Amino acid sequence: MVRLSAVGESLAARADGISPHSPTDSKMHILEIGADQEDEVTGARGVDAAFRTVPRDLTAFLVWKITDKGTEMLPRTHFGTFYDADAYLVYSCSLPGQPGGPDVIRREIKENGECGERHIHAWAGERSGTLGALALRRATQLAVHLPSPSVVHRETATKESPRLLSYFRDGIRIFRSGSVGDGARLYRVRGPRPVMLQLEPVSWAQLASDGVFVLDTNTILVLWLGRTANLIEKIFGAKIAYRMSRGVDKGSPTRRIVIAHDGYEQTLPAAERALLGSLLEPRTRVVRAPSPPELGRPARLYRAAPPRTPHALPSQRPAARLEEIKRAPLYRDDLADDGIYVVDAGCRGVWAWVGSAAGAVAARGAMAAARGLARARRYTGLVSCTVSGREPLEFAALFHRWRWADARRDIRLRAARSATTKLDAVSLATNSWLAAEAQLPDDGSGSLRMWRVRGEEEYRGPALVEVERPQQAAFYNRDCYLALYTYHAPTGDHSILYYWMGGSSPNDLRNLGVKEAKDLYVKLGRLPVQAWVYQGKEPAHFLQIFKGRMITYVGSASDYDPSGRRVIAPSRALIRVSGQYAREARGVEVRGDQARAAIRENGAVVVRNGGENSASAARNGVGVGVGAGVGGEQEGRGACYVVREGARVWVWCAACATGDEREVAKNMAAAEHTLVMQGKEKAEFWSALGDRRHLLVASPLKEVERPLPPRLFYVSNGPPGQYSFEEIISLSQYELAPEMAAVLDAHGCVFVWLGAHCCPRTKDDARNLAAAYLAQDPAARDPETPVLVLSQGREPPNFTGFFPHWKRSMWKSHKTFGAIISALEGKAIVQGGNSALQCGNSANQFDQHEKYPLTVLRGPKEHLPPDVDALTKELYLTHDDFVSTFSMTYNDFRTLPNWKQKELKKAVGLF
């Protein structure tokens, strides 16, 4: 029994025959989950004999098959093979930050130091029946038997979690139980860690235009490639077909592989075409359209509460009652140690969290509550349960500013933060881990060119005007700037094209800057790293370039220099300063009443007084207040100020200011100054401050953050402008391939890595790809998180340092998809014919369009799919349909005169 109610859902509840709760629950959603559906996870009443051999203090990887009679441990040769009528238990214990799997090395775990990462996965096939509940119960028994808490996952076939898939480098295989005989067998290959799923029956209804399928006919293997299938899946499909052709036994004969492209089946040789037609009747050919990607949404946090009414029977467990208390963004402080919580992360699963003081009785119902929520939301994916202090990265990433406990990484973070010397490009290339943790590809001593983007309100001229003396580091929050930074590294000259957007810059100016940035990137041969940064969120390297003197003023540079070539600092300004090092130092001008709120939050301020330029700006209505993005999470707290009046400068430091903060403030002043300590101020200092004296409120130094480790995501293309993201748990260069695009989420910034052979559309749309990733993150990420886009072969050390043992020669002998297909067919690699289609990046106009059945295209115009051009319906036919309809190929059709083409289209009902 599951009951859901809320005031906003009353009508829906009544339509479902469910009575809404009383008005006392009007501000939150309430879920009540009856115990009659949760009896299968009532806890462990004993330990299965099979678990007594599990090493309690050693890393290990074990797999069991679950039966009604017992638990059967599987040998290594069976790892990664599952049957859809069975259930399995997978146990992985590895050292922190190290991958798990069959190749894990047995090492002792000292729980008084770094705790091992223990995960238990209960996997149930589609036809497993009650075995799935039995597997989950035995997973609970295993968790109780282990010496320290484990994360328990409920896994579903074809919806496996990225962590489970990460254990099997060659992917997993899901076979149909009881499938016997010599008939044909159909398999689908899906994902970057491929899941090979056997499908029954063998029919066109199983095929999809975005899929890769292997048809095993015992005599030959047919590799069927969907039109919109991902190139990575095509490569894995080819490799799997090759392994299947070799057979299990070394002495078995090698079978031939036939490549069939979606819509080109009739171009196969006669014998293969006849065999395929005997299994897949051509007259019944219907290929499913691509399924829409599963998009993420903000996470919801529920707290398990006592039931509203007592349970009916003494022997019946009470119902779980979940109260929705918050939606993303979530924080660690939202979780009380004496509570049980459930996080609905949508496509990232449903997570139960057990507080350290929750009690054993309440903890036993945590997984049941999470499963009940999944049922209420009709989720079929991952459901997991974790305990306080043992949260995996996937759970911690759903929260903002989660402090990650990793002693070894803490050492690196402290080293990166305190390193003030030896940060040149050569040393950082050698110690790429330092570059990654500090986010510095070099020390900022390279050459710099800057342009300001001019809007339509300025006088006519080029959209970009180069800035004189960019090292003065003056910015305005209503402007946008391009900065081209070039530095020399051991591998040659490298460049970064930064696009900086002011917090108050209008959208049309930002869009114009995006266009100009793209044009400049193309003009530079697509070689620089592209970086989109926002006011108040600048990455460390951008600040390092300006040596700790970057200041953002209110207004536009054109208010002070109509030519736009000089970015002149106003002579009167109140500026907030933050940071302890040059690569953290920011100065932001604030004005009016908003200054008081800003100083309360962030503390460190620079003050400049006097001059008529500011008065002129005020008369023009420029900037009364701070721009968006100022005072954000990344800005530290401090207690130093700079007061300037004409040529006179004071640096004021609170008693709680650190030496590093004082040095940053003095450097920000960039002039001769008088140091003033709190309590020793003179009259001339207070005179310069005027009525802003109340702003000198010291704020304690913000605690140093311990950010989460980076996460890697594989990008899958959907319809134009739509992307889905699948996490790859093990962070390794081997997970990257030239045919793919990937997102490396470093939390403070997001990297988009573009392989040399990835989809051209993805390369041109990299910024929107990153925006889609941030928008789909259930943690409700800041859309103004810095984004860096880089291409294969041009990776800076602040990216490669996140990958252990990066090798620049990794892809030197890489085989393209076209080469793999030619090798499978026993042919030489050719450039003509259908090679464009084989490479997966067809330049043919005909092959780039979505395909539809002839009956749909012959229908009335108002019933056509939205992407179909009614004047060129023939482009939306498959090759085979085109030939059968027009009795010629599309290339022959194109050679005909326009009038002849129209006559033919009229004759077949496509005009």
710-758 tens-digit pLDDT: 999 999 887 777 899 999 998 899 999 999 999 999 999 999 999 999 9
CA proximity to 736, closest of 689, 656, 791, 785: 791
Residue 329 preceded by cis peptide, ω within 30: yes
CA proximity to 274, closest of 323, 217, 230: 217
User: Where would I find the H helices in 475-581?
Assistant: 507-523, 540-545
- Give residue 134's pLDDT: 94
Q: Which helix (H) or strand (E) holds 617?
A: helix 613-619
Q: Residue 466 — φ and ψ, nearest 5°?
A: -75, 140
| CB-based contact 152:367 (threshold 8 Å) | yes
Distance (Å, rounded) from C-alpha 55 to C-alpha 896? 75
- 3-class DSSP state for residue 185? strand
Residues 139-161 have pLDDT tens digits of 999 998 888 889 999 999 999 99
Beta-sheet pairing, 787-791 with 750-754: parallel
CA dihedral 549, 554, 558, 560 (to 10 degrees): -80
657 DSSP assignment: -
State how far the alpha carbon of 250 is from the alpha carbons of 241, 245, 258, in Å.
16, 11, 22
- 3-class DSSP state for residue 619? helix
Report, in angstroms and rounded to the nearest whole number, the Rg of the chain calculated over CA atoms: 31
- Give residue 318's pLDDT: 54
Give the confidence band of 189 by pLDDT, cuts at 50, 70, 90: very high
Task: Give the percent of the chain with pLDDT over 70.
Answer: 83
Residue 201 preceded by cis peptide, ω within 30: yes
Give the confidence band of 831 by pLDDT, cuts at 50, 70, 90: very low
Query: Average of pLDDT values for 423-452?
Result: 88
State how far the alpha carbon of 294 is from the alpha carbons of 265, 334, 672, 717, in Å.
30, 27, 59, 12
| CB-based contact 801:434 (threshold 8 Å) | yes
pLDDT surpasses 60 at 610: no
Query: How many helices (H) and strands (E) are present in the chain, helices listed first?
Result: 26, 39
pLDDT surpasses 70 at 675: yes
Q: Which helix (H) or strand (E) holds 534?
A: strand 529-534
How confident is the prediction for the chain on average, in pLDDT? 82
